[in-house]
Amino acid sequence: MTARVAEGCGTLATVTDALTREELARTALACPPFTLAIRLAEWVGDSRELTSTSVLRPAVAVQACQALGIALPVGKLRRAKDVFELARAWDAAVAAGLVLVTANRASAAPD
């Protein structure tokens, strides 16, 4: 089996079965956007409110940014997607199954 994985979290490399689960986990955990996605999922916890487009509501996004140390733009936040670092972490957390989205709520996936 051959797979493609992020190398250094920026480029793709082809690997074979020689890559162990532990090596893959270490690679993922060395990727700052993925570690931020993990922290975001932990922050989401049992339940956070979402918009109709399945992203954090602006007020909740501000709380997330403050908790995670993400810089906010000047002025009132209109959309969570306007904060690139938060939007990237959100997309990664949802795609990796770290955050579960149902209707207008999100929760961290069970361990």
16 band by pLDDT with thresholds 50, 70 and 90: low
DSSP string for residues in 51-91: -TTSSB-HHHHHHHHHHHTPPPPSS----GGGSHHHHHHHH
The structure tokens listed for 59 are 């007020």
- Residue-wise pLDDT tens digits, 54-108: 999 999 999 999 999 999 999 999 999 999 999 999 999 999 999 999 989 999 9
33 band by pLDDT with thresholds 50, 70 and 90: confident
49 band by pLDDT with thresholds 50, 70 and 90: very high
pTM over 0.85: no
Distance CA 31, CA 70 (A): 16
